[in-house]
């Protein structure tokens, strides 16, 4: 089954404790991206990657790191989480074909930073 | 400036009636794609419909149609014959071909009333 998986789905942590949210897709997509969703703000892009070893900042990259060592995986790293990073996080992937690249979303990770 | 603007935080519609969800966008690119996604209360992001900037006809997918007015930079979603299962958040999004970011609006919460 074609899908984007994220782990964990729920995470409660404390300020400053490094964490990684994994993202994996099995559709051979070149493009992968991370978003955070906050009430009233919609989805905002954190980082995206056009292919292996190619990553770029989105609109809200501060406090986050990513890596793309393999085509299928795109982990999101919070080296020192803070309460303002409490949010719902989505990973997404797509092909890069002209302007049409419907993104397939993972199920989301709800992160709470205390 | 906001790339995507959704001015209706919440909408109500009677079951079986049609409803229009507004979306305006801001870009100076000639080539771009516009998307609508649905997010039910369960949280997943579901792709609904796509419109390319060079498409001359409005996109349709079942009960969903996209009212694309390029000169006005609007891409409104029309849902015909609303069903109770249409109650959800709806997000408008855009990708500029020569940029690699996706931009989402703040969303519209639609409630279908029996």
Contact yes or no for B45 and A88 at CB 8 A: no
Say which of B32, B52, B106 has its CB closest to residue A41.
Answer: B106
Phi then psi for A67, rounded to 5 degrees?
Answer: -150, 155
* Residues A114 and A17: beta-carbon distance below 8 Å: no
Contacts A–B by Cβ distance under 8 A = 63
What is the rounded average pLDDT for all residues in chain A? 94
Q: Does B97 touch chain A (CB under 8 A)?
A: yes
Residue of A27, A32, A43, A49 to mutate when probing chain B, most B C-beta within 10 A: A43
Q: Which residues of B touch A2 (CB under 8 A)?
A: none
Which segment of A38-47, A98-107, B99-108 scores lowest on mean pLDDT?
A98-107
B52/B58 Cα distance (integer angstroms): 9
Total Cβ atoms within 10 A of residue B71: 5
Say which of B31, B45, B95 has its CB closest to residue A101.
Answer: B95
Residue A89's DSSP bridge partners are: A36, A109
Burial of A12 (0-12, 13-18, 19+ CB in 10 A): exposed
Q: What average pLDDT does the segment A71-99 reach?
A: 92
Q: What average pLDDT does the segment A5-31 reach?
A: 96
A17/B26 Cα distance (integer angstroms): 39
Per-residue pLDDT of chain B (114 residues; tens, 9 = 90+): 689 999 999 999 999 999 999 999 999 989 899 999 999 999 999 999 999 999 889 999 999 999 999 999 999 999 999 999 999 999 999 998 777 888 999 999 999 999
Burial of A86 (0-12, 13-18, 19+ CB in 10 A): middle
Q: Does B102 touch chain A (CB under 8 A)?
A: yes
| Backbone φ/ψ region at B62: left (φ over 0), alpha (ψ -120 to 50), beta | left
B97/B76 Cα distance (integer angstroms): 20
Say which of B4, B43, B101 has its CB closest to residue A108.
Answer: B43
Residue of A58, A99, A108 to mutate when probing chain B, most B C-beta within 10 A: A99
pLDDT band at A65 (very low <50, low <70, confident <90, very high): very high
* Residues B25 and B6: beta-carbon distance below 8 Å: no
Q: Note the helical H segments in A5-106.
A: none
* Min Cα separation B71/chain A (Å): 19
* Residues B42 and B59: beta-carbon distance below 8 Å: no
Q: What average pLDDT does the segment A65-94 reach?
A: 97
- Indicate if the pLDDT at residue A98 is higher than 60: no
* Min Cα separation B114/chain A (Å): 26
Q: Which residues of B touch A41 (CB under 8 A)?
A: 106
């Amino acid at each position: 089954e074609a899908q984007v998986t994220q782990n964990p789905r729920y995470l409660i942590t404390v300020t400053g404790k490094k964490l990684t949210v994994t993202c994996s897709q099995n559709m051979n997509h070149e493009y992968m991206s991370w978003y955070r969703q906050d009430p009233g703000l919609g989805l905002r892009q954190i980082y995206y990657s056009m292919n292996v070893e190619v990553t770029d900042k989105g609109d809200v990259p501060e406090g986050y790191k990513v890596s793309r060592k393999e085509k299928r995986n795109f982990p999101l790293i919070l080296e020192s989480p803070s309460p303002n990073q409490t949010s719902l996080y989505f990973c997404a992937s797509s092909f890069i074909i002209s302007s049409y690249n419907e993104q397939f979303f993972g199920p989301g990770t709800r992160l709470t930073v205390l | 400036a906001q790339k995507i603007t959704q001015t209706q935080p919440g909408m109500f519609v009677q079951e079986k009636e049609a409803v229009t969800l507004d979306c305006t966008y801001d870009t100076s690119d000639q080539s771009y794609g516009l998307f609508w996604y649905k997010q039910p209360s369960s949280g997943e992001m579901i792709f609904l419909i796509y419109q390319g900037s060079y498409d001359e006809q409005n996109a349709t997918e079942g009960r969903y149609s996209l009212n694309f007015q390029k000169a006005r930079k609007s891409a409104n979603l029309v849902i015909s014959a609303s069903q109770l299962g249409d109650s959800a958040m709806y997000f408008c999004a855009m990708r500029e071909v020569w940029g690699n970011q996706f931009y989402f609006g703040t969303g519209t919460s639609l409630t279908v009333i029996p």
